[in-house]
Amino acid sequence: MAREIIRNPQALPLSSYSVRETSFGELPSGYRGLITLPGYISRDLSPDSIDVSSPLTKYRPGKNEPAIRLNIPVLSAAMQSVSGQKMGIALARMGGLAAIYCSQPIEEEADMVKAVKRHKGAFIEPEVVSAQDSIEYVAERMRRTGYSKFFVTQGRDQHGILLGLVTDNDFDAEMHKGQTVAQRMRPVRELDVVYHDEVSHDVKQSNEKAKSSHHSALPVIYRDGRLRDVIFRKDIRDHREHKTELIDDMKRLRVIAAVNTHDYKDRIPAVVDAGVDLILIDTSQGWTDHLADTSHFALNKYPGIPVIGGNVVTADGFNFLVKDCGVDSVKAGMGIASICITPEQIGVARSQDRAIEEVTKARDKHLEETGEYVPIIADGGVRSVRDMVVALALGADSIMAGRFFAGTNESPTEINYKFSPPRKPYWGEGSDRAKSWREKRGYSIEFEEGVPDAWVDYVGPLEPYLTQAMEQLKAGIRKAGCRTIDGLHRNAVVETISEEEVGAHSVHIEKKE
């Protein structure tokens, strides 16, 4: 039965649409069958006035603010072919967040989280090695972590007596094989150090010290020689260039770590120790006792770290995650991603527009009853900015995407130049390719639910690509007559449209070489 989504003046305050059965025919397929109608543009509704920030964690409107608010309403999916440490750094610098994937060994995910947290910040926890460590050990640590500087302390103690510094410029992995760090490091007397009582934890003072130094990294030490933390000059430049970056109280980039419901008792402590800002319980079907167990463990053991729960596609699923599991935000969507084959395999899924419609109505009812607003993340099915606008107009607070980000430089995969234009590989987390690591660790793998070998066009660096997308998103919000995402929720009108009417049609398009 086809349907039309229309504005309903009697709806709850944050709902701006209802569904009316209209005639027999084919249902619209997720976002592709829908379009957002133009709205009135007042004289003061300029492009610069559009605000695309959005809450990511629950809060009470009028009483407090969300613990974490996105500066741009986009998250990259927790997938092997999408969200590694490079994506985590690049997306947080632009105001969004990446969800580091959990389909990897615990220590490797923790290292990715550390890499994002230590990319910038006023005072960074140092990476340390011992003077007795081998050059082979240091080279392997550099390869695994991506760091090029390691501070040398007594006994490899992160806050031990500072002895020196070793960088990738101080040795050749082959030539100096068999030597120790002590033989290649620069001793502490050659370093430019800052004493802790000169800067305390004052970010402004640390920046002044860094700007006046000739060195790229300044260790902060106590008067007895113990290492406290490190100040990096590059972080000052980064902050000037990325004014919408998403950072914590210590000026470190924020990052999400995905966890599963299998090894969560070991994985959650590891990513928390690495400095993670949010925990995402990543399941295709989140209405389960397993998710409740995982959420309760995380929230009881680490009450200060928000938890994202998902995925669900019904009001009952939303209520379970919020009321029974206590999550801080809810991820909606099942079976609609570009490489998901769950509906074909088992016949269980839901159209994304219906999923968002029902879950956001449950969110609005929860707000009316309790005064608590729980943000909704629309997960999957986003192929373009057009889809983002529709998802947000339907009531979502942010979107999570995989394919949209998979073709960027920052995704973990290699560019294949054999194709014209070049492409990057993309595969599903439910595919055998992603699940192979689980089988080695005793997981039960019944059948494949994701495409194992797909390709997406290479689109280049994330920053210009996403910057243009956000300008398009702002234009869409403005032309809908709105100023904010909350305004879309309250005022946007969404209706059905045929596939033939979307995009250029009935003409021959000349392709540029």
Residues with catalytic roles? 340, 438
**Are 231 and 253 in contact, with CB atoms under 8 Å apart?**
no
* Helix (H/G/I), strand (E/B), else coil: 18: strand
* Longest CA pairwise span in the chain (Å): 81
Rounded Cα gap, residues 477 and 472, in angstroms? 9
**Are 20 and 4 in contact, with CB atoms under 8 Å apart?**
yes
* Helix (H/G/I), strand (E/B), else coil: 401: strand
Residues 372-386: b if buried by 16+ CB within 10 A, e if exposed: ebbbbbbbbbbeebb
Read off φ and ψ for residue 226, nearest 5 degrees. Answer: -75, 145
* Chain centroid offset of residue 152 CA: 33
**Are 24 and 2 in contact, with CB atoms under 8 Å apart?**
yes
Query: How many CB atoms sit inside 10 A of residue 405's CB?
Result: 30
CA-nearest of 217, 110, 107, 239 to 168 is: 217
DSSP string for residues in 468-505: HHHHHHHHHHHHTT-SBHHHHHHH--EEE--GGGSSS-
SS3 string, 174-213, reads CCCCCCEHHHHCEEHHHCCCEEHHHHCCCHHHHHHHHHHC
Rounded Cα gap, residues 408 and 410, in angstroms? 5
CA of 391: how far to CAs of 359, 470, 471, in Å?
Answer: 12, 14, 17
Give the CA-trace dihedral at 414, 417, 419, 425, to 10 degrees.
Answer: 0
Give the single-character DSSP code of 321.
Answer: I
Query: How many CB atoms sit inside 10 A of residue 403's CB?
Result: 20
Rounded Cα gap, residues 62 and 85, in angstroms? 36
Fill in the amino acid letter for 388: M
CA-nearest of 411, 391, 277, 274 to 331 is: 391
